[in-house]
Amino acid sequence: MTGHRPSLAVVGATGAIGGVMLRILSQHADVWGEVRLVASPRSAGRKLVVRGEESEVLALSEDVFDGVDVALFLVPDEVSARWAPIAAAKGVVVIDDSAAFRLDDDVPLVVPEINPHAARLRPRGIVASPNCTTLSLIVAVGALHAEFGLRELIVSSYQAVSGVGRDGVAALREQLSLVAGTELGTQPGDVRRALGDSADGRNGARSPFAAPVALNVVPWAGTDAGDGWSSEELAIREECRKVLGLPELKTTATCVYVPVVATHSMSVHARFENEVAVDKAHEILATAPGVVLFDSPASGDFPTPSDVVGTDPTWVGRVRRSMDDPHALEMFLCGDNLRKGAALNVAQIAESVAAEFPR
């Protein structure tokens, strides 16, 4: 189609990320023609507001992609794996937030601040967006890589419960209500015994976490990937390699859930080919797109999730040169996992695709 504003479908419009996406579409410059809201049949018929207008949610089907130019998939892996190729076969450019296609050689994995050109090369008609943890990390690390030449990453993530969706948030709030005002957390296993399986308050479902998350941290995110690693940890490794074009990048991660609703935090050890200086790193981070430098710890200036939540950039602080390695930097960063970590990155990719359509 030519000479028009491209039409857009938002698949998964009623989910947690979908809600953030509708706000972003309403806040950003309006580059879209029709915006079609799509979700599972059980959500069809709901009315949601986007760009100041109420719109009825349509049930996911093949026909819903007729006349659509770009589709944003904000749904679980299995839904994307089934429906994204169907949409692409109809000529729709798919921007997918799931893990279904991230490591497919024929699907570009795109972070617009790092590799925007990759979005134009899409043999399968699909563009993938990285994992929320990767996205919170890579805009800062990528900017430093361009100057110093990244060689190794060691990452510890402190992940918000919304990383597993609304059930994760409900589980934390339910657990907090059960432990509030008690003396729990002072004896071995007392929190676990008090919470039991800890129904999360959504239709009696069990908590999605492997251990209590209230008054606790849970060093396991994702599924079993073998040899003691989780899928989230391997995702950081493989996605950083792909986005940065560094297939041999030494990367290791430990992913931990913490009792925070939204915004992931990370402690990062980054080793570079060239010797690093904090002043130069500050200069790079202060001018990097999608990054805010907030680094004066003696004055109490460093990022925390409760301060960063709801904002778009990755916030970076505690930048210091490793005491034992002049080629390495240590830093702490925070990024809202529902904004840049999911909806915003997808929206940015989609806007770059929309620019390809003649006006």
Q: Which long-range contacts (CB under 8 A, 24 or more apart) does 113-118 make?
A: 113/139, 113/142, 113/143, 113/288, 113/289, 113/290, 114/138, 114/139, 114/142, 114/243, 114/244, 115/243, 115/244, 115/245, 116/352
Other beta carbons within 10 Å of 186: 9
Burial class (CB in 10 A: 0-12, 13-18, 19+), 50: buried
Would you please indicate which residues are annotated as catalytic (active-site) residues?
132, 264
Strand 150-159 and strand 264-272: the pairing is: antiparallel
Q: Which DSSP symbol is given to 341?
A: I
- Closest listed residue to residue 96, CA positions, set 110, 115, 106: 110
Q: What are the structure tokens assigned to 37, written together?
A: 């809201």
Residue written as token pair 């996406």:
21
Cα(200)–Cα(211) distance, integer angstroms: 13
Helix residue ranges per DSSP H, 71-129: 77-89
